[in-house]
Chain A
Amino acid sequence: MNAAFQQTATDSKTGDAPAILEMRGISQIFPGVKALDNVSIALHPGTVTALIGENGAGKSTLVKILTGIYRPNEGEILVDGRPVTFASAQAAIDAGVTAIHQETVLFDELTVAENIFLGHAPRTRWRTIDWQTMNSRAKALLTALESNIDPTIRLKDLSIAQRHLVAIARALSIEARIVIMDEPTAALSRKEIDDLFRIVRGLKEQGKAILFISHKFDEVYEIADDFVVFRDGRAVGQGRLKETPQDEIVRMMVGRDVENAFPKIDVAIGGPVLEISHYSHRTEFRDISFTLRQGEILGIYGLIGAGRSELSQSLFGITRPLSGKMMLEGREITIHSPQDAIRAGIVYVPEERGRHGLALPMPIFQNMTLPSLARTSRRGFLRAAEEFALARKYAERLDLRAAALSVPVGTLSGGNQQKVVIGKWLATAPKVIILDEPTKGIDIGSKAAVHGFISELAAEGLSIIMVSSELPEIIGMSDRVLVMKEGLSAGIFERAELSPEALVRAATGNA
């Protein structure tokens, strides 16, 4: 850890203007993991502070504390120099904090205008909601964002990128002094990013303090003044961007040189295992084709909302494609349900392991044996010994850390939960494994372990599809990369052609 970069950001853009918001010694502890450890940050008016860190470094937790969703276990928050406690989300809003969250948390059944103004709708003289003003002000906000979305339509009819714009409009509609943006550009095209930055600069002029969370360096250098680097829940470095070269920040982020993070083993790649031709879905993706060969790792890259997970879920049978052909080992097959997929040897490790991959209250061994009950049981009757044996085998193989196989899987750390999901599928002896953001929300140390393991699987002859939005991961691990943009294929890149610029250009469609 480089002590030279531990200085706190003292000089703000507006001279000696004191910090609007300060966090001192904030710690947040969850069962099994310390999400934040003694973090201290200051946000100054008219300044954009970039919060940089890998997934799982603690950024989202910090946001939740600032917006009143979580209460910190230790430490204090000061607004204008006075200590405050955010007893609820409303308290944070009243204190002048607004946030654009990474995953849009909005209401499908309400209109765009209602979503933007929920909680602070314009009122008439009689304190009733003034719909007309609300709609026109919503329209004005959206126009300022250079969008033509009709404020009276319901949110569920919008695309993901459009919903994100509505979230941004909402954050702007609250007259806040502190604006938090958590990966705001994840789903935006270059032009939309330019518009967003224009707005951010406008907010700076107005003297607002902006916390800009991102792990995309070019954007950070473009828009932010100061930076804070998080790693494993700690603020490991702060300073002014102008004075700090990028590789110093990268080193702070990762704690070591980037090269070792992706232990890719060179594998002899065999013949085609899975051939997808012209796969299309009604609303989510169209005309996707690729071939997956044995021992190969095919990365799928794209922005949030590009349709990668949707494609993966369709391949696994969760949703039905509208049209398209799938050939497995030379034979045409149709997958209409997850059972079909599993029987064919195609398995899916979901992006949201808590929501889609595991029954959190159920014990580890029960989660692991779920798709394999036919094998561990006899004539439909459960056999505990067989189940524990299977769970033990894969727990050892994956180096699982847990108190016992009978504890609820929800008590494990993110990395270990991921191991349970992977173990569950390995037990079915699959041919193709689709991994959706396999290291999302996992700390750096476990990431390398997961990557190493994925490489081993490929070496053993499995074919792997890996969906990821992290460039280093995709570039480091993949033999080839399919890029998706807004539901369409933007090209397949061979390993030699892989570079961050080429992939980003294809994913955002900008030169």
Chain B
Amino acid sequence: MARLIRKRETLLFAIIVVMIAIFSTRAADFATPENLAGIFNDTSILIILALAQMTVILTKSIDLSVAANLAFTGMAIAMMNAAYPDLPLVLLILAAIVIGACLGAINGFLVWALEIPPIVVTLGTLTIYRGMAFVLSGGAWVNAHQMTPVFLSVPRTPILGLPVLGWVGIVIVLLMYVLLRYTQFGRSAYATGGNPTAAVYAGIDTGWTKFLAFVLSGALAGLASYLWVSRYAVAYVDIANGFELDSVAACVIGGISIAGGVGSVAGTVLGALFLGVIKNALPVIGISPFTQMAISGAVIILAVAFNARRERNRGRIILRDRAAAEVRTEAAA
């Protein structure tokens, strides 16, 4: 039944293709490679945050603080860049990832050591981190002219027609795919969320797995924070407001189960792209951008309904002829 998972991703892919086709009838240059690359580029940050959220959701948790993490970390490195323009960019990016990871580790620690439900923890840290962004900056903004040219230009530099920002997205997608599919951590994450009791019986440390998931989520949020403040050339307290819910939405649309243990990287990416295509298409086809929120909401509800139909507990299968057919002996390798 790995086929079933793949079926959902292909369905989502098909829907996106159809949407693009429909939109291109209203706006001639919608489906051009340049525009599509632009859409992908614009959606890269959401893709990264959605992958962060996915890892956490897989372990039967949720991280509502990703956007606040992004805001604080982004503000921190923007201020560093403004105050110390000679600091190499690599160092700043590293700092962003480390700061983000530390904030994630705080979440992870509270969930792991104190066993506080993740929704409560991240509800608290979401306001704390954003408040810390205010305290750090004193409410001031960091504007484009305060940022070094290198800081601003790197993500915009096009390579083969796609800006670096888009390439970073691609690299992260590939890394996450390898991580979740080919490493012990990936298996542990799926197991922890899929059946926590069985995971313990199988020798998996579920608390540690959740901790790592939060650290990873924070690190990705940290990386995304640099990309954000650079791309939008500004840093202030309210950046990325509401993005945590977008990241959850992208996961849900992509078929990630909120109960944990189910979901694929491809699905998450497609879920994020789905939202990205809609966001980009609305102004182009002449629908007010104010409708975006409502459309997102409707899509999430439909996606959840679709997910639930797939996940519905089929009851225990006892009748032999109703169980999965066993492989015919001739087909055995």
Contact = CB atoms under 8 A, between A and B. Distances in A.
Q: Tell me if chains A and B make direct contact, with any CB pair below 8 A.
A: yes
A283 B81 CA distance: 63
A310 B316 contact: yes
A510 interface: no
Interface in B213-254: none
Nearest to A105: B198
Contact of B202 (A89, A128, A150, A282): A89
Contacts of B332: 139, 143, 148
B328 A148 contact: yes
Contact of B194 (A90, A107, A487): A107
A319 B202 contact: no
Interface string A300-336: 0000011100100000000100000000000000000
Contact of B187 (A114, A162, A487): A114
A171 to B, nearest CB: 11
Interface string A125-149: 0011100000010010001000111
A69 interface: yes
Given A109-B194, A129-B182, A149-B326, A160 B317 contact: yes
Contacts of A154: 1-2, 4
Interface string B247-291: 000000000000001100000000000000000000000000000
A152 B327 CA distance: 10
Contact of B318 (A108, A143, A283): A283
Interface in A210-248: none
B107 to A, nearest CB: 24
B157 to A, nearest CB: 31
Given A107-B191, A128-B183, A153 B318 contact: no
Interface string A279-294: 0011111100000000
B138 interface: no
Contact of A129 (B183, B204, B205, B324): B183
A159 interface: yes
A36 interface: no
Contacts of B191: 107, 110, 118
Size class of the B contact interface (CB-based, 8 Å) = 35 or more
A487 B322 CA distance: 11
Contacts of A488: 319
Contacts of B315: 281-284, 310, 319
Contacts of A118: 187, 191, 202, 204
B296 to A, nearest CB: 27
B190 interface: yes
B57 to A, nearest CB: 13
Interface in A58-115: 67-69, 88-90, 92-93, 101, 105-111, 114
A367 B204 CA distance: 36
B123 interface: no
A6 to B, nearest CB: 33
Nearest to B186: A129
Interface string B295-313: 0000000000000000000
A354 to B, nearest CB: 14
A158 B187 contact: no
Given A107-B198, A156-B314, A119 B203 contact: yes
Nearest to A94: B203
B32 interface: no
A88 B318 contact: no
B135 interface: no
A51 B123 CA distance: 50
A118 B314 CA distance: 24
A121 interface: yes
A486 B323 CA distance: 11
Contact of B314 (A107, A119, A283): A283
Contacts of A486: 318-320
B136 interface: no
A153 B1 contact: yes
Given A156-B314, A310-B316, A148 B327 contact: yes
Interface in B1-27: 1-2, 4
Contacts of B317: 157-160, 283-284
Given A139-B333, A149-B327, A487 B203 contact: no
Contacts of A67: 201
Contacts of B324: 149-150, 153, 157-158, 162
A159 B187 contact: no
B106 to A, nearest CB: 25
A319 B315 CA distance: 9
A159 B318 contact: yes
Contacts of B182: 128-129
Contact of A487 (B184, B199, B205, B319): B319
Contact of B197 (A105, A127, A136): A105
Contacts of B1: 111, 153-154, 156-157
Interface of B: 1-2, 4, 178, 181-184, 186-187, 190-191, 194-195, 197-205, 261-262, 314-320, 322-324, 326-329, 332-333
13 contacts: A67-B201, A68-B203, A88-B205, A89-B203, A119-B202, A148-B328, A150-B324, A153-B2, A159-B320, A159-B322, A282-B315, A286-B319, A486-B318
User: What are the 9 tightest A-B residue pairs by CB atom distance, in nearest-first order?
Assistant: A90-B203, A128-B182, A159-B323, A148-B326, A157-B324, A105-B198, A154-B1, A487-B319, A487-B318
Interface of A: 67-69, 88-90, 92-93, 101, 105-111, 114, 118-119, 121, 127-129, 136, 139, 143, 147-150, 152-154, 156-160, 162, 281-286, 305-307, 310, 319, 486-488
Given A148-B326, A486-B320, 15 more contacts: A90-B203, A107-B190, A107-B191, A109-B261, A118-B204, A128-B182, A128-B183, A129-B187, A136-B333, A156-B1, A157-B323, A157-B324, A159-B319, A160-B317, A486-B318
